[in-house]
């Protein structure tokens, strides 16, 4: 017998079913609430609202757990590759050898972008943020590759095309912003190797591939690959719910990710650490300002809507950071600042009582700096990582038998009905 909750309001009493997930988390199904009582619910920021059932990612914010399709993030980061994780998220199961080979062939086949797209890059003003450019370019893919999906095979092609081309577009935008020759993808390189080569190879200085750098990039992308119903994923689902095409939905996700409270935090963390390094801000002042309710400043890279303990991705990222800097013999002063900041914050009553711990963005920027990625490309790196998650969530919503156009309601607080006043009487 499934559980229900009895809801009484005025003379109406209704039974609301309780929905239970495979990990035991529960929700009240209020889909009949308005019809039966005339009431809606209010939940600013959707802090208590589940918008779908999903079989992709499980998070437990109290225990610091993250799993993709049931597999712990720690195991995937240690043993898998980004390509394999992308396949897992989108298709639900780890690929067989034959399946991953086929996926790699497709990623290679679709890695070039239409040459006409190169002209777009030249039309953006010099200071354009790469996230704005990426969002526009992904939206433009629909015009260049208009035929999207019909059969399962066609959907797979569109999905693979997108994963492959986003990486090429990101590297291209970097090269063009520097006024350098574009480097094309190579069939002999892996997904991550290809990205690094397209970013850093030059006719006068061939890029020397370092296994540890490739591995650090792969782990970075795996850690970002999905995070259930976060802001950008919700944007992808909401836009997609109007039955818009995959490219436009992902373009909306990229735009949503850009903000400093979400994906843009990785750039904001480094900018904060650099300010401290330049002595424009002290560590103690940063902590003090972040606790002051009259100051909008927040300690970037700290806090999370779901995690009320150490973000499991941040733990892995910190290890990757230490390993990479050690291997490359890099002594980054920002790492020392970050570690001191973390120690102070973790022992501060405000941060303890508010359950504020480092999130994935706290150490990721230092890893990206060590790889050679410029700061304004950090959030683009997050977007490349999050892409398989967005695609998996978009596909799941398209196949959901309970699918509905996403359309929240509101409580109107504006003026009540009043009559129009002609201009001469105002």
The answer to whether 294 and 334 have CB atoms below 8 angstroms apart is no
Which residues inside 322-361 make contact with ligand CMC, applying CB under 6 A? 354, 356, 359-361
**What residues does 330 pair with on adjacent strands?**
none
349 included as an active-site residue: no
**What residues does 71 pair with on adjacent strands?**
68
Binding to ligand CMC by residue 366, rule CB under 6 A?
Answer: no
Q: Exactly one of 138, 223, 299, 377 binds ligand CMC (CB under 6 A); which one?
A: 299
Q: Exactly one of 55, 112, 261, 352 binds ligand CMC (CB under 6 A); which one?
A: 261
Is the CB of 357 or the CB of 394 nearer to ligand CMC? 357
Q: Exactly one of 139, 290, 364, 397 binds ligand CMC (CB under 6 A); which one?
A: 290
Stretch that binds ligand CMC, among 100-108, 131-139, 157-165, 258-266 (CB under 6 A): 258-266
Sign (positive/negative) of CA torsion 77, 84, 250, 40? negative
Q: Which residue is nearest to ligand CMC (CB)?
A: 303
**In the complex, minimum distance from the CB of residue 306 to ligand CMC, in angstroms, rounded to a whole number:** 8
Binding to ligand CMC by residue 265, rule CB under 6 A?
Answer: yes
Binding to ligand CMC by residue 230, rule CB under 6 A?
Answer: yes
- Distances from the Cα of 103 to the Cαs of 98, 216, 218, 320, in angstroms? 9, 22, 17, 27
**In the complex, minimum distance from the CB of residue 405 to ligand CMC, in angstroms, rounded to a whole number:** 26
**In the complex, minimum distance from the CB of residue 255 to ligand CMC, in angstroms, rounded to a whole number:** 14
Distance CA 225, CA 136 (A): 21
**373 CB neighbour count, 10 Å cutoff:** 21
Distance CA 91, CA 56 (A): 10
Binding to ligand CMC by residue 272, rule CB under 6 A?
Answer: no
361 included as an active-site residue: yes
Q: What is the DSSP letter of 376?
A: G
Of these residues, 227, 262, 304, 311, which one is catalytic? 304
User: Cα angle at 392 between 391 and 393, to 5 degrees?
Assistant: 90
Which residues inside 40-79 make contact with ligand CMC, applying CB under 6 A? 45
Stretch that binds ligand CMC, among 196-204, 205-213, 259-267, 327-335 (CB under 6 A): 259-267
Distance CA 366, CA 325 (A): 9
Size of the site for ligand CMC (CB under 6 A): 21
Helix (H, G, I), strand (E, B) or coil at 139: helix
**In the complex, minimum distance from the CB of residue 87 to ligand CMC, in angstroms, rounded to a whole number:** 22
Helix (H) or strand (E) holding 302: none
The answer to whether 379 and 258 have CB atoms below 8 angstroms apart is yes
- Those residues with Cβ within 8 angstroms of residue 362's Cβ, 6 or more apart along the chain or in another chain: 269, 301, 302, 314, 317, 338, 342
Is the CB of 156 or the CB of 309 nearer to ligand CMC? 309
- Distances from the Cα of 424 to the Cαs of 417, 419, 420, in angstroms? 21, 15, 12
Distance CA 199, CA 203 (A): 12
Q: Exactly one of 275, 305, 308, 319 binds ligand CMC (CB under 6 A); which one?
A: 305
**In the complex, minimum distance from the CB of residue 409 to ligand CMC, in angstroms, rounded to a whole number:** 22
Q: Which residues are catalytic?
A: 304, 361
Which residues make up the interface to ligand CMC (CB under 6 A)? Answer: 45, 227, 230, 261-263, 265, 290, 298-305, 354, 356, 359-361
């Amino acid at each position: 017998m499934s559980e229900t909750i009895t809801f009484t309001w005025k003379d109406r009493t209704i039974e609301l079913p309780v929905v239970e997930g495979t990990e035991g988390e529960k929700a009240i199904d209020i889909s009949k609430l308005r019809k039966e009582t005339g009431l809606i619910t209010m939940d600013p920021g959707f802090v208590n609202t589940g918008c779908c059932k999903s079989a992709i990612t499980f998070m437990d914010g109290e225990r610091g757990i993250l799993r993709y399709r049931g597999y712990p993030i720690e195991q995937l980061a240690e043993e898998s590759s980004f390509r394999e994780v992308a396949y897992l998220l989108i298709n639900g199961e780890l690929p067989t050898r034959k399946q991953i080979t086929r996926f790699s062939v497709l990623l290679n086949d679709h890695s070039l972008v239409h040459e006409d797209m190169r002209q777009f890059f030249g039309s953006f003003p010099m200071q354009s943020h790469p996230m704005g450019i990426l969002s526009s370019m992904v939206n433009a893919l629909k015009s260049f590759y208009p035929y999207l999906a019909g059969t399962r095979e066609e959907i797979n092609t569109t999905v693979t095309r997108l994963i492959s081309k986003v990486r090429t577009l990101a590297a291209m935008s970097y090269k063009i912003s520097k006024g350098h020759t574009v480097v094309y993808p190579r069939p002999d390189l892996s997904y991550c190797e290809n990205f690094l080569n397209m970013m850093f190879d030059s006719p006068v200085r061939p890029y020397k591939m370092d296994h540890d750098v490739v591995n650090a990039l792969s782990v970075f992308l795996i850690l970002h690959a999905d995070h259930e119903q976060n802001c950008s994923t919700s944007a992808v689902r909401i836009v997609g719910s109007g039955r818009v095409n995959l490219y436009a939905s992902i373009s909306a996700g990229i735009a949503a990710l850009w903000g400093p409270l979400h994906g843009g935090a990785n750039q904001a963390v480094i900018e904060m650490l650099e300010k401290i390094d330049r002595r424009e801000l002290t560590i103690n002042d940063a902590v003090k300002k972040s606790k002051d309710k009259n100051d909008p400043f927040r300690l970037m890279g700290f806090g999370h809507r779901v995690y009320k303990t150490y973000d499991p991705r941040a733990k892995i990222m910190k290890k990757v950071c230490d390993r990479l800097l050690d291997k490359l013999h890099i002594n980054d002063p920002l790492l020392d600042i970050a570690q001191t900041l973390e120690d102070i914050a973790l022992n501060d009553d405000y941060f303890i009582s508010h359950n504020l711990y480092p999130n994935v963005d706290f150490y990721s920027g230092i890893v990206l700096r060590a790889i050679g990625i410029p700061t304004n490309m950090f959030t683009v790196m997050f977007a490349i990582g999050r892409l398989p998650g967005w695609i998996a969530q978009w596909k799941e919503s398209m196949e959901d038998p309970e699918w509905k156009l996403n359309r929240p309601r509101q409580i109107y607080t504006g003026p009540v009905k009043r009559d129009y006043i002609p201009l001469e009487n105002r």
